[in-house]
A and B are shown apart, each in its own frame.
Chain A
Amino acid sequence: MAIVTAEHHEAHPKGVSRWLFSTNHKDIGTLYLWLSFVMFIVAGTMAMVIRSELFQPGLQVTNPHFYNQLITLHGLIMIFGAVMPAFVGLANWQLPLMIGAPDMALPRLNNWSFWILPFAFTLMLSSVFLQDDGGGPATGWTMYPPLSVQGGIGVDFTILSIHMAGISSVLGAINVIATVLNMRAPGMTLMKMPLFAWTWLITAFLLLGAMPVLAGAVTMLLTDRHFGTAFFNAAGGGDPLLFQHVFWFFGHPEVYIMILPAFGVISQVIPTFSRKPLFGYNSMVYATASIAFLSHVVWAHHMFTAGLLLVSELFFMYATMLIAVPTGVKIFNWIATMWRGSLTFETPMLFAIAFLLLFTIGGLSGLMVAIVPADFQYHDSYFVVAHFHYVLVTGAVLAIFAAVYYWLPKWTGHMYNERLGRLHFWLTMIGMNLTFFPMHFLGLAGMQRRVPDYALQFTDFNQWATVGVFVQALGHLVFIYVLFQTIRGGKKAGARVWDGAEGLEWTLPSPPPYHSFTTPPVVK
């Protein structure tokens, strides 16, 4: 038995079967990260078409129906295809390394939860090629009925693919919880875990709470569309707003599913390049947990204009404003970590500092949209588009870039090209701000979201935004080059890649052995 086990463990599958049948956390992590990057490019290309259409008033590039498919798929693919799998990929690679485990707790489940995803997104995207049956979903990523009940075959494809992506997320979350709770190295109590493990543990519980609710919402939508139910049809005794309540009961925790792991990444990167321990570890953990709790009781702030009762609006306004307190604690703790440190500015740190500044902008505009009377002006305008791109793109996506540059030498065993990394950073920085900052002004001036055409006075800022998105694209071309260059070769990276880095992953060689920790390290 022992011999068989050893043999099984030493056999590294080669070629396609290495990836198809992999139960190895590093290989699966790599698959997740590549899938995420491909989806990022697909949805980013859609953004470029969208912004090209918006370069001038009038219709130039698309027609309104196709434009609506693009904005819907851009949102769905970026959320479910790019940001979420990227963080699952990071969790796969890093959690066993950071808590001193040989692999994830449930390796075969891990394989399955990845391999559902390519099929889910192939299904969703394939509807675009069925233009004669209505094409892709053209409902907005929120899929509000009755509009989504009217929609074509793309809505059904999307519902099924959301079910698949949801199963994948739930399985991934179960795996993370099982790993973090059971496989920590001896001596690593919960309150000694790296913050990335903490934020992912809490995220996993959010996933378990949120994804089944989304599955319920889209299932009701499916039966309303095809099987004669009337959950969301007032004429049949239903309520269109019921969908919005159920959807956002998923949707708001989802926002934190995408940002809590980012908080974890930033909490690893900033101490490393400040050469100073993270300030307020305990309050970071408590802040993360309170954000996760509050995220379940603020959903209706997405529906302030839908006609809620006055008392509901007041409750959801106060609850939403409260989230600013733990979020503020996190920002202040990161600044205090940098304070009187010994700072250097390698690419991961540049991305982390940019996250700190720009996520703060997104957080503050989030506070503004929490104020109900003012939100009556912001809601469904470009101000909101600016807000959620500042938290998701200059928040979550920048944190993913920080994480990739931070751990890439560990994964590949090679140092990336620092100059090109900085070039990528600055192009991204200029591009993102040029794209998203003018959107605040557009929204305040009265431009609504999800339109392929607009009134003349909005032209200038739209043109800035369009130029910005192409600058971002240039930055990402540099990133692709850096990635391939680093994977293929480069200066050898040592075990402890960064001189300020603390944690178990830096005790293993770069790249780490196939089974990360075969004997558990002891944490004092």
Chain B
Amino acid sequence: MAVRRLAGRYRGSASAAQCAAVRASIAAATLAPTTALAAYKMNLPTPVTPIGQRILDLHNLILWICAIIFLLVFGAIFYSIIAHRRRPGVQPAMFHDNVQLEALWTIVPFLILVGMAIPSTATLIDMADVRGSKMTVHAIGYQWRWHYEYPEHEIGYLSTLATPREQVANLASKNEHYLLEVDNPLVLPTGVKVRLILTSSDVIHAWWVPALGIKADAVPGFIREVWTRIDEPGTYRGVCAEFCGRDHAFMPIVVQAVTPEEFERWIAGRKKQVAAAAAEAEKTWSRDDLMERGKQVYQQICAACHGPDGKGTPGAFPPVAGSAVAKGPLSEHIASVLKGRNTGKFPAPMPPFGQQLGDVDVAAVVTFERNSFGNKAGDMVQPAQVKSAR
């Protein structure tokens, strides 16, 4: 266990609401640097899947072969540096060919390579074999968050960086899992072969969780599948590995592996939330509630580009404060959020958020934007209006 703690900073404890707990705890934040610095991590994290284990074994095997080859090369160079340096009266040898020797150092490396290729091929073939999966999860990359879907259970949600922006700007002390924490982790049952289907809605992303031994690109317009079977309950952290633009560093992945029983309970809980959300969308919201919800959504989704203060980034992203959209017709504002917007004035168009956000969230955030940062449109949006605008 001690070894695992040392080796696996990606692995947290199995406690459930860990992200929230860590965020809330100032004590954890102050303790974090010391524990983080204590463990110099120099090798791959301890795997928790059979494939991850085979990758680690393969990695260690090649690493040792390479280390031995390097020591031989290093040794030969240093031997000749010491033994064959110029000495008075000693003439250099004049040989410049040796067919046997040259054949030897062509054939021996080739045989070593064959020895490496055999286990690599076997592992690769097993990694590609998604047959016999018991459940499917979709992971869809967005700039800069992940959207997870459980098609068998009709559940889907966004998973966004939970580290507050103040910590990135060095205005607050950093959490233990700084940049490796999300609001809604991907929850998977242990001991079950899960098929993960990846795609993207904008640019190429890559889903990488080292402890699972998975790194797979999410390519827009294309679908690819990988599989995993997690053996141990726990929290496993990863990142988007494919360069995807400005906030590439800020779209982590957190996988929470729980026992199948816990997983069933979690699914049931999620379904209740879905039902509650549907009920929320039916009711008529008060202005204060919309504003409060809208502020949350704005800070979570919109602030990444438009800034926490609504001022945007000059040359890159337009401001919300004083913008024509926030002052203009309501329908256009809703359509911008749902379907995106491309004026050609900025390097990147605004992506559509219709798939990522529910009716309540869109209604709330539009209301918030029209009545904050000095904007005084005065109107408000109900979820039903958003539904009809879709």
A residues engaging B (CB < 8 A)?
57-60, 63-65, 68, 131-135, 138-140, 144, 146-147, 150-153, 233-235, 239-241, 274-283, 305-307, 310, 313-314, 317-318, 321-322, 324-325, 328-329, 331-333, 335-345, 353, 356-357, 360-361, 364-365, 367-368, 371-374, 376-377, 379-381, 441, 444-446, 448-457, 459-461
From the candidates A65, A235, A313, A329, name the one contacting B313 in the complex (CB within 8 A): A65
Task: Give the 3 A-B residue pairs with the shortest CB-CB distance, closest first.
Answer: A234-B221, A152-B347, A134-B347
From the candidates A276, A314, A456, name the one contacting B92 in the complex (CB within 8 A): A276
From the candidates B63, B85, B314, name the one contacting A343 in the complex (CB within 8 A): B85
From the candidates A138, A241, A380, name the one contacting B246 in the complex (CB within 8 A): A138
Report chain A residues within 8 Å CB of B42. Answer: 441, 444-445
From the candidates B98, B174, B215, B316, name the one contacting A134 in the complex (CB within 8 A): B316
Determine whether the beta carbon of B210 is less than 8 Å from that of A377. yes
Report chain B residues within 8 Å CB of A305. Answer: 206, 215-217, 241-242
Report chain A residues within 8 Å CB of B177. Answer: 455
Q: How far is the CA of A221 from the CA of B40 in the complex (A)?
A: 42
Cβ-closest chain B residue relative to A134: B347
Determine whether the beta carbon of B116 is less than 8 Å from that of A321. yes
CB distance from A319 to the nearest CB of B (A): 11
Q: Tell me, yes or no, whether B266 is within 8 Å of chain A by CB.
A: no
Report chain A residues within 8 Å CB of B62. Answer: 367-368, 371, 374
Q: Tell me, yes or no, whether B283 is within 8 Å of chain A by CB.
A: no
Q: How far is the CA of A345 from the CA of B81 in the complex (A)?
A: 9
Report chain B residues within 8 Å CB of A342. Answer: 84-87, 90-92
- B123-131, B147-155, B255-263: which lies at the interface: B123-131
Determine whether the beta carbon of A454 is less than 8 Å from that of B58. no
A-B residue pairs in contact (CB < 8 Å), sample of 18: A144-B243, A151-B348, A240-B220, A278-B96, A279-B95, A279-B97, A305-B206, A310-B124, A317-B120, A322-B113, A324-B109, A329-B105, A333-B102, A337-B96, A339-B93, A376-B216, A444-B42, A446-B238
Report chain A residues within 8 Å CB of B123. Answer: 373
B6-56 at interface with A (beta carbon < 8 Å): 9-10, 32-33, 36-37, 39-45, 51, 54-55
- B65-73, B187-195, B325-333, B362-370: which lies at the interface: B65-73
Given contacts A132-B315, A361-B70, A368-B62, 5 further A-B contacts (CB under 8 A): A59-B170, A279-B95, A353-B77, A454-B249, A456-B176
Report chain B residues within 8 Å CB of A338. Answer: 77, 80-81, 84
Q: How far is the CA of A174 from the CA of B183 in the complex (A)?
A: 58
Determine whether the beta carbon of B120 is less than 8 Å from that of A132. no
Q: Tell me, yes or no, whether B117 is within 8 Å of chain A by CB.
A: yes
Q: Tell me, yes or no, whether B169 is within 8 Å of chain A by CB.
A: yes
Determine whether the beta carbon of B204 is less than 8 Å from that of A364. no
Knowing A152-B347, A335-B80, A446-B210, the reply to whether A274 touches B92 (Cβ < 8 A) is yes
Q: How far is the CA of A134 from the CA of B314 in the complex (A)?
A: 9
Determine whether the beta carbon of A377 is less than 8 Å from that of B213. yes
Determine whether the beta carbon of B81 is less than 8 Å from that of A377. no
Q: Tell me, yes or no, whether B224 is within 8 Å of chain A by CB.
A: yes
Knowing A305-B215, A379-B215, A453-B168, the reply to whether A459 touches B116 (Cβ < 8 A) is no
Report chain B residues within 8 Å CB of A240. Answer: 204, 219-222
B315-358 at interface with A (beta carbon < 8 Å): 315-316, 346-349
Determine whether the beta carbon of B54 is less than 8 Å from that of A373. yes
Determine whether the beta carbon of A373 is less than 8 Å from that of B224. no
Knowing A58-B167, A65-B246, A360-B70, the reply to whether A283 touches B102 (Cβ < 8 A) is yes
Determine whether the beta carbon of B246 is less than 8 Å from that of A64. yes
Determine whether the beta carbon of A381 is less than 8 Å from that of B178. no
Determine whether the beta carbon of B244 is less than 8 Å from that of A307. no
Report chain A residues within 8 Å CB of B313. Answer: 63, 65
Report chain A residues within 8 Å CB of B106. Answer: 325, 328-329
Cβ-closest chain A residue relative to B52: A377
Report chain A residues within 8 Å CB of B247. Answer: 64
CB distance from B181 to the nearest CB of A (A): 9
Report chain A residues within 8 Å CB of B216. Answer: 305, 307, 376
From the candidates A135, A310, A328, A460, name the one contacting B128 in the complex (CB within 8 A): A310
CB distance from B104 to the nearest CB of A (A): 9
Report chain A residues within 8 Å CB of B254. Answer: none
Report chain A residues within 8 Å CB of B86. Answer: 275, 342-344
Q: How far is the CA of A234 from the CA of B36 in the complex (A)?
A: 43
Report chain A residues within 8 Å CB of B59. Answer: 368, 374, 377
Q: Tell me, yes or no, whether B248 is within 8 Å of chain A by CB.
A: yes
Determine whether the beta carbon of A144 is less than 8 Å from that of B204. yes
Determine whether the beta carbon of A307 is less than 8 Å from that of B217. yes
Determine whether the beta carbon of B178 is less than 8 Å from that of A455. yes
From the candidates B85, B202, B243, name the one contacting A140 in the complex (CB within 8 A): B243
Determine whether the beta carbon of A368 is less than 8 Å from that of B36. no
From the candidates A64, A138, A144, A374, name the one contacting B55 in the complex (CB within 8 A): A374
Report chain B residues within 8 Å CB of A235. Answer: 221
Q: How far is the CA of A138 from the CA of B315 in the complex (A)?
A: 13
From the candidates B10, B117, B315, name the one contacting A135 in the complex (CB within 8 A): B315
B51, B87, B109: which has the most chain A beta carbons within 10 Å? B109
Report chain A residues within 8 Å CB of B170. Answer: 58-60
Determine whether the beta carbon of B73 is less than 8 Å from that of A336. no
Report chain B residues within 8 Å CB of A365. Answer: 66
Q: How far is the CA of A446 from the CA of B45 in the complex (A)?
A: 8
Q: How far is the CA of A480 from the CA of B203 in the complex (A)?
A: 43
Q: Tell me, yes or no, whether B360 is within 8 Å of chain A by CB.
A: no
Determine whether the beta carbon of B248 is less than 8 Å from that of A451. yes
From the candidates A68, A280, A371, A379, name the one contacting B102 in the complex (CB within 8 A): A280
Report chain B residues within 8 Å CB of A318. Answer: 117
Q: How far is the CA of A361 from the CA of B45 in the complex (A)?
A: 22
Q: How far is the CA of A239 from the CA of B244 in the complex (A)?
A: 17
Determine whether the beta carbon of A376 is less than 8 Å from that of B96. no
Determine whether the beta carbon of A150 is less than 8 Å from that of B245. yes
Determine whether the beta carbon of A307 is less than 8 Å from that of B202. no
Q: How far is the CA of A243 from the CA of B246 in the complex (A)?
A: 21
Determine whether the beta carbon of A454 is less than 8 Å from that of B97. no
Q: Tell me, yes or no, whether B286 is within 8 Å of chain A by CB.
A: no
Determine whether the beta carbon of A307 is less than 8 Å from that of B246. no
CB distance from A454 to the nearest CB of B (A): 7
B153-184 at interface with A (beta carbon < 8 Å): 167-170, 174, 176-180
Determine whether the beta carbon of A147 is less than 8 Å from that of B203. yes
Determine whether the beta carbon of A460 is less than 8 Å from that of B220. no
Q: How far is the CA of A372 from the CA of B127 in the complex (A)?
A: 10
Q: How far is the CA of A335 from the CA of B240 in the complex (A)?
A: 42
From the candidates A58, A134, A329, A459, name the one contacting B36 in the complex (CB within 8 A): A459
Q: How far is the CA of A150 from the CA of B344 in the complex (A)?
A: 10
Knowing A138-B246, A278-B96, A453-B249, the reply to whether A343 touches B81 (Cβ < 8 A) is yes
Cβ-closest chain A residue relative to B175: A456
From the candidates A139, A373, A379, name the one contacting B127 in the complex (CB within 8 A): A373
Q: How far is the CA of A321 from the CA of B32 in the complex (A)?
A: 42
CB distance from A167 to the nearest CB of B (A): 27
Determine whether the beta carbon of A341 is less than 8 Å from that of B80. yes
Knowing A150-B245, A277-B94, A306-B217, the reply to whether A456 touches B77 (Cβ < 8 A) is no
Determine whether the beta carbon of A371 is less than 8 Å from that of B116. yes
Determine whether the beta carbon of A340 is less than 8 Å from that of B93. yes
Determine whether the beta carbon of A310 is less than 8 Å from that of B125. yes
Report chain B residues within 8 Å CB of A336. Answer: 98, 101
CB distance from A313 to the nearest CB of B (A): 6
Report chain A residues within 8 Å CB of B110. Answer: 325
Determine whether the beta carbon of A331 is less than 8 Å from that of B73. yes
Determine whether the beta carbon of A445 is less than 8 Å from that of B9. yes
CB distance from A392 to the nearest CB of B (A): 19
Cβ-closest chain B residue relative to A356: B77
Report chain B residues within 8 Å CB of A59. Answer: 168-170
Report chain B residues within 8 Å CB of A150. Answer: 202-203, 245, 347-349
Q: How far is the CA of A457 from the CA of B12 in the complex (A)?
A: 13
Report chain A residues within 8 Å CB of B168. Answer: 58-59, 453
CB distance from B39 to the nearest CB of A (A): 7
B221-232 interface bits toward A, Cβ cutoff 8 Å, 1 = contact, 0 = none: 110100000000
Q: How far is the CA of A274 from the CA of B101 in the complex (A)?
A: 20
